[in-house]
Structure 1
Amino acid sequence: MTASKIAVIGGSGIYEIDGLEDAVWTEVETPWGAPSDAILTGRLGGVEMAFLPRHGRGHVHAPADVPYRANIDALKRIGCSDVISVSACGSFREEMAPGDFVIVDQFIDRTIAREKSFFGSGCVGHVSIAEPTCARLGDACEAAARDAGIRLHRGGTYLAMEGPQFSTLAESRMYREAWGADVIGMTNMPEAKLAREAELCYASVAMITDYDSWHPEHGEVDVSEIIRILTGNADKGREMVRGLPGLLGGERAACGHGCDRALEHAILTRPEARDPALVARLDAVAGRVLG
């Protein structure tokens, strides 16, 4: 058993964790630049917690401009073991209504303008993301959400679009009907991929604000309506987060799904051929396997 440190990456509407003891905002430097913001650390229910506002306090980072690599490196660097992503999204399913939460388990990545890996020329690495989320963390998020009285759906495919514009009607219909996506957002990719490369357990909780643009009775996305629902979702999201420490506890065993060993056979570049500068940048993310 090892100590747990639970990280929450908060999306639109969630910019803090309520009730943290000994809470302090800490600046973390990474080889990949500055994270979205300082990281709020403390204890909740006796469990070490960390909170990072994905868009920064005041919502200053657009989805494509979020420093995803720095964010994940920073969380790993300060000792986080588990990452819970909370984000706003649109829905492609009638039954997944605004105000509902979805525990995401699959992704379709349509982002095109973001750095998606810590690895590259000089140290090549390939991780599997066939199962991109951790079922153990998903179980905890489901239990915490249900305890908070949140209407919840377990399992769903999240389509990550580049943004910052919302979908056209034609795109919305394609994602829903031809591609089989369930929800759509702009921020879970490459975040989930990078968390896997960093050997962090990762779970995604999508908070539905709208029906994108496919729904014949709801029309195009209405930003004022999104903001109204977002406020209610943020309250529910914070309530869910408060329940996580009691469910996950302060200690954890090795991940039964192998998230914490994702790099075991992923590095292909021979040791003598590795770029020392890149290896140095990977100290927090991949130090366990690079030595």
Structure 2
Amino acid sequence: MGETVIGVIGGSGVYDIDGLENPTWQTITTPWGEPSDQVLSGVLDGVKMVFLPRHGRGHTLSPSTVPYRANIDALKRVGVTDLISVSACGSFREEMAPGDFVVIDQFIDRTFARDKSFFGTGCVAHVSVAHPTCPRLGKACHEAAQTAGINVHQGGTYLAMEGPQFSTLAESKMYREVWGADVIGMTNMPEAKLAREAELCYASVAMITDYDSWHPDHGEVDVMDIIRTLTGNAQKARTLVSQLPGLLGRTREPCPHGCDRALEYAILTQAPHRDPELVAKLDAVAGRVLNG
């Protein structure tokens, strides 16, 4: 049994956590570059929490320039065990309306301009992302949202696009009608894949701001409408996060779904042939298996 440390990556409009005791902003150095910002550490209802603003305070980073590897490494490095992603998204479903939240359980990754793995030449690894989110953590997020009075949907497929532009009408219709996606966003990939490589339990809470461009009554995405909805969603997200310590508790058992053991048999490069420089960079992410 270990200690629970809840990590929260805040997306558009979510730049801090309410009610933290002894909140401290820390600079974390990683071998993958600088994270999006300092991390905010503190205690909430007796449980350690760490917060990282994905786009930086002031929203200075675009979806394509977010340093995803540095962010995940930094959170792992400070002891995070359970990571919740909060992000804005558009909806492809009438019943998933602006202001609703969706606890994501699947992804379609259409990003192309981002580093998607900690591993590579000199240390090759293949993790499974067949089920890219942690059901245990997702269930806690769903319960937290319900307790907070949020209209929340359990399960949904998130189409991750590169951006920063929104979809064309043809793309929006294809993602919805042909591919069967439920929501669309720009930031959960490669974040979810990297969290799995770092053996972190990961859950994604998508906050719906608009109907993308497919909806006949809404037309193209209106940025001003998105910003108005974001403001309300951000407060809902902070309320959701405040429920998590009580649901997850101060201590945790090994993940029943194996998220915290994802690298157990994933590294294929034999020890004598591993690149020492790459192995050194993997100290936080994969130290459990490389140094075990």
Normalising by structure 2, we get a TM-score of 0.99
**Mapped partners of 1:250, 1:80: distance in 2:** 12
* Counterpart AA for 2:199: E
**Mapped partners of 1:109, 1:244: distance in 2:** 28
Instruction: List per-residue Cα deviations over 1:112-146 (Å, max 9, x = no partner).
Output: 00000000000000000000000111111011100
Task: Report what 2:134 is aligned to.
Answer: 134
How much has 1:66 moved relative to structure 2?
0.2
How much has 1:246 moved relative to structure 2?
0.4
Task: Report what 2:28 is aligned to.
Answer: 28
**Mapped partners of 1:62, 1:190: distance in 2:** 14
**Mapped partners of 2:55, 2:160: distance in 1:** 16
**Mapped partners of 1:250, 1:69: distance in 2:** 27
Task: Report what 1:90 is aligned to.
Answer: 90
Instruction: List per-residue Cα deviations over 1:133-175 (Å, max 9, x = no partner).
Output: 0011111101110001000100000000000000000000000
How much has 1:243 moved relative to structure 2?
0.4
Task: Report what 1:123 is aligned to.
Answer: 123
- Where does 1:73-222 land on structure 2 (aligned, <5 Å)? 73-222=73-222
**Mapped partners of 2:131, 2:288: distance in 1:** 22
Task: Report what 1:289 is aligned to.
Answer: 289
**Mapped partners of 1:12, 1:108: distance in 2:** 21
Instruction: Name structure 1 gaps, 5 residues minimum.
Output: none
**Mapped partners of 1:275, 1:147: distance in 2:** 48
How much has 1:273 moved relative to structure 2?
0.3
Task: Report what 1:259 is aligned to.
Answer: 259
How much has 1:54 moved relative to structure 2?
0.2
Partner SS state of residue 102, structure 2: strand
**Mapped partners of 1:73, 1:148: distance in 2:** 30
Task: Report what 1:243 is aligned to.
Answer: 243
Partner SS state of residue 64, structure 2: helix
**Mapped partners of 1:189, 1:139: distance in 2:** 21
Instruction: List per-residue Cα deviations over 1:79-112 (Å, max 9, x = no partner).
Output: 0000000000000000000000000000000000
**Mapped partners of 2:91, 2:120: distance in 1:** 35
**Mapped partners of 1:78, 1:142: distance in 2:** 26
Partner SS state of residue 120, structure 1: coil
How much has 1:76 moved relative to structure 2?
0.3
**Mapped partners of 1:159, 1:27: distance in 2:** 32
Instruction: List per-residue Cα deviations over 1:197-254 (Å, max 9, x = no partner).
Output: 0000000000000000000000000000000000000010000000000000110000
**Mapped partners of 1:99, 1:207: distance in 2:** 7
Task: Report what 1:45 is aligned to.
Answer: 45
Q: How many residues align?
A: 291
**Mapped partners of 1:126, 1:164: distance in 2:** 29
* Counterpart AA for 1:122: G
Moved over 2 A (4+): none
**Mapped partners of 1:36, 1:166: distance in 2:** 22
Partner SS state of residue 64, structure 1: coil
**Mapped partners of 2:139, 2:219: distance in 1:** 34
Check if 1:270 corresponds to 2:277.
no
* Counterpart AA for 1:247: L
Partner SS state of residue 83, structure 1: strand
Q: Tell me the C-alpha RMSD between the 2 structures.
A: 0.3
Partner SS state of residue 63, structure 1: coil
**Mapped partners of 1:86, 1:177: distance in 2:** 26
- Where does 1:8-19 land on structure 2 (aligned, <5 Å)? 8-19=8-19
**Mapped partners of 2:173, 2:222: distance in 1:** 18
